[in-house]
């Protein structure tokens, strides 16, 4: 008698599970949980001299065509800049072309406007042979006024996702032109 009740209870439980499971999976798939996109930034070295610089990219998907803006805001530079160097991470494996890189005065977008170049700044752009250093020589020094400037990359994103940290250095206009650390941009490719 007890075995019959136990078997009937087990069969009834399986029947309920078979009937309700499609509804449960539908409910779960309708409420897709989006990945958390918090303002968290990873820093490789715990260094007090590290400066986080702002950046913007059109898309963060792997192997997609992308436009990346590396901003130089007025607070990021204290004097005029004669030369800008960007150290490119080894793992950022894309085809860099001087024609697809530009220096411009930029409008940093927000709620009411999009990020876009206002005026192109004529500059000589050099990429090292090992593709790890980008050097930009503006024809006129970048002034230390209230305008924001950007180095714009038009590239295809790398095939591998991850965090890519670019370091920026600038040669300061003055009596003794020395190159100093401006800060770092950490971009994310998913």
Domain extent listing, the chain:
1-33, 55-189
Model confidence at 8, pLDDT cuts 50, 70, 90, reads confident
- pLDDT at residue 155 greater than cutoff 80: yes
Quick check: 59 and 69 in contact, CB under 8 A?
Answer: no
For the chain, report the end-to-end CA distance as a whole number of angstroms: 60
Residue 166 has pLDDT above 60, yes or no: yes
- CATH 3.40.50.720 given to domain 55-189: no
Per-residue confidence (pLDDT) for residue 7, from 0 to 100: 67
Q: Tell me the average pLDDT of the chain.
A: 84
Residue written as tokens 């990429």?
127
Going edge to edge, which strands form the sheet with 133-138? 123-127, 133-138, 81-87, 162-172, 179-189
Which pLDDT score is estimated for 66?
Answer: 93
Q: Is the pLDDT of residue 25 over 70?
A: no
Residue 178 has pLDDT above 50, yes or no: yes
Average of per-residue pLDDT across 92-116: 92
Q: How many CB atoms lie within 10 A of CB 116?
A: 14
Max Cα separation, the chain? 101
- pTM of the prediction? 0.74
Q: Output the six-digit token pair for 147.
A: 């305008």
Is 30 a residue whose pLDDT tops 70? no
The DSSP code sequence of 143-181 is P-SS--EEEEEEEEPPSS-EEEEEEEEEEEPSSS--EEE
3-state class (DSSP) for residue 184: strand
What gap in Å lies between CA 94 and CA 87, rounded to an integer? 14
């Amino acid at each position: 008698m007890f075995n019959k009740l136990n078997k009937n209870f087990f069969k009834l439980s399986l029947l309920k599970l078979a009937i309700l499971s499609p509804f449960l999976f539908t409910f779960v798939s309708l409420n897709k949980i989006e990945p958390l996109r918090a303002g968290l930034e990873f820093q490789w070295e715990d260094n007090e001299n590290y400066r986080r610089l702002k950046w913007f990219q059109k898309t963060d998907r792997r192997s997609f065509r992308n436009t990346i803006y590396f901003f130089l805001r007025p607070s990021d530079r204290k004097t005029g800049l004669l030369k800008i160097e960007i150290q490119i991470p080894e793992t950022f494996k894309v085809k860099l072309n001087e024609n697809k890189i530009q220096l411009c005065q930029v409008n940093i977008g927000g709620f009411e406007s999009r990020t876009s170049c206002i005026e192109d700044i004529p500059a000589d752009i050099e990429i090292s042979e090992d593709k790890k250093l980008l050097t930009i020589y503006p024809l006129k020094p970048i002034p230390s006024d209230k305008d924001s400037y950007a180095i714009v990359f038009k590239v295809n994103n790398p095939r591998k996702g991850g965090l890519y940290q670019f370091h920026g250095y600038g040669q300061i206009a003055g009596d003794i032109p020395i190159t100093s650390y401006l800060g770092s941009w950490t971009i994310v490719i998913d």
